[in-house]
Amino acid sequence: MEISEEEYKLAKEAHVADCTGGSVHEVSIACASLVSSHMLWTSLVQNQYIAADSFASQFCIYVVPILTCLTIAADYSTWITIGMATIAFYLSSSRPKTTPQTQSNYKSFLTVYRAGTMISTCIAILAVDFQFFPRRFAKVETFVASRAYLDTATNENVLKSMIKSVRSAFPILVLGFARFFLTKGVNYQEHNSEYGLHWNFFITLGFLPPFVTLIGFFRKIVPFSVLGLMVITIYQLALCQGLQEWILNAPRIDLVSANKEGICSFFGYLGIFLIGLECGICIFQKDISKSKLSRSIGIQEKSDIKQLVWVESYPGYYVSRRMANLPYTFWVIAFNLSLISLLVLAESRNGIEGRGPAMLDAININGLFTFLLANILTGSINLSYRTLYANDFTASIINLIYMLIVTAVPWIMWRRYNLRIKF
């Protein structure tokens, strides 16, 4: 039976509402396929089975497995991840271990981490609108640039730094408001409990630079990680003192309450970003013992110490993405550091030189453009096709073509035209 556009919109909103989420283990396994993909690509390249700069092979190795693990093969993601890792180990064992001949300023594991996160995000924002995307992976109801902030507190005055940060944030804020007006103009389905009636993640990203710049001046006294923990802790205390109840149950009667989720969760994301900056500082330093955080906890210089450690966190409180509370921020930090650590471990078995896989590097170079492209394509597909009623085969083809465009466009822009778009 044919339904009206308004009825279909309500069905789409109900499709992404009241989701309870999946287990930490399952989410970790699905994302761990990125590590196995990188191990497989590295082994195939070093055994000369594929060309290092082949787009087709990189698309098949880095995109297709994540897409299948998040959709039609979600129940078998463990076997897919283990299978790719097994093949990679077998290929690696057939040749001697190699190490880079020259020191490089590039850290290829960061190329894989950043682009892999972007690929997973782009897959999810469209796949969630199809039935073949498990509801446990959907957003529960109830993507670091550190070097730009390293010298802010010492080399520039407050006014100059704030002007520069506001200038860099302005295009992203424009995108955020443009997204709001466009979605309202075309009557696009909305998930109001995610960020509120008018707020969206572009606005959150846009407010980060000036806030980080302002807080960054205190880095003369304490490291970014301590500042981040202070922000998160104060925010969590406010949640416990009644802010959580207001976020979850207060009526939307004015502009602030209409966007209570986006406004309040911003402080959780701010804390995550500040701690991420400190992690970036440690990664980009040749000697981890020189960082303020390392000295404060007594880490001494030692040439054979790895710069990244496995981090585990088991918060005793309910994890809420909607509020970006303390348990959520700790889980995000632990998850991302663990993923980076696994990529470092994977690369320690084989010498990797340069910037890493060319397709992933191209995505990183035009990262914000890639994310914007994915959002535009997602909106276009949803407006032109009723994704909710597509069968698994049709959904797979649509999402595969969509990801082919999302990855091929930045590849062509950078590899063929050396084009880099900055916002």
pLDDT band, very low/low/confident/very high, at 191 (cuts 50, 70, 90): low
Tell me how far apart the alpha carbons of residues 413 and 289 are, in angstroms, rounded to a whole number: 39
| Residues 317-370: tens digit of each pLDDT | 567 777 888 888 888 888 888 899 889 888 877 666 678 899 999 999 999 999
Residue 298's pLDDT is 46
| Residues 129-157: tens digit of each pLDDT | 888 888 776 655 554 554 455 555 445 56
Q: Look over the chain and give the mean of its residue pLDDT values, rounded to a whole number.
A: 80
Secondary structure of the chain in the HEC alphabet? CCCCHHHHHHHHHHHCCCCCCCCHHHHHHHHHHHHHHHHHHHHHHHCCCCCCCCHHHHHHHHHHHHHHHHCCCHHHHHHHHHHHHHHHHHHHHCCCCCCCCCCCCCCHHHHHHHHHHHHHHHHHHHHCCCCCCCHHHCCCCCCCCCHHHHCHHHHCCHHHHHHHHHHHHHHHHHHHHHHHHHHHHCCCCCCHHHHCCCCCHHHHHHHHHHHHHHHHHHHHCCCHHHHHHHHHHHHHHHHHHHHHHHHHHCCCCCHHHHCHHHHHHHHHHHHHHHHHHHHHHHHHCCCHHHCHHHHHCCCCCCCCCCCCCCCCCCCCCCCCCCCCCHHHHHHHHHHHHHHHHHHHHHHHCCCCCCCCCHHHHHHHHCHHHHHHHHHHHHHHHHHHCCHHHCCHHHHHHHHHHHHHHHHHHHHHHHHCCCCCCCC
> Residue 254 in contact with residue 196, Cβ under 8 Å?
no
pLDDT over 70 at 209, yes or no = yes
Tell me how far apart the alpha carbons of residues 31 and 116 are, in angstroms, rounded to a whole number: 9
Residues 6+ positions from 343 with CB-CB distance below 8 Å: 34, 35, 38, 109, 112, 113
Q: Residue 254: what are its φ and ψ, rounded to 5°?
A: -145, -175
pLDDT band, very low/low/confident/very high, at 312 (cuts 50, 70, 90): very low
Which of 416, 415, 406, 408 is CA-nearest to residue 372? 406
> Residue 349 in contact with residue 355, Cβ under 8 Å?
no
Tell me how far apart the alpha carbons of residues 104 and 90 are, in angstroms, rounded to a whole number: 28
Q: Give the amino acid at 333.
A: I
Residue 46's pLDDT is 87
Residue with tokens 């911003």: 266
pLDDT band, very low/low/confident/very high, at 173 (cuts 50, 70, 90): confident
State both tokens at 336: 């991302």
**Around 223, how many Cα atoms within 13 Å sit in the side-chain half-sphere?**
19
Tell me how far apart the alpha carbons of residues 119 and 402 are, in angstroms, rounded to a whole number: 11
Q: Residue 206: what are its φ and ψ, rounded to 5°?
A: -70, -30
pLDDT over 90 at 400, yes or no = yes
Q: The whole model's pTM is what? A: 0.79
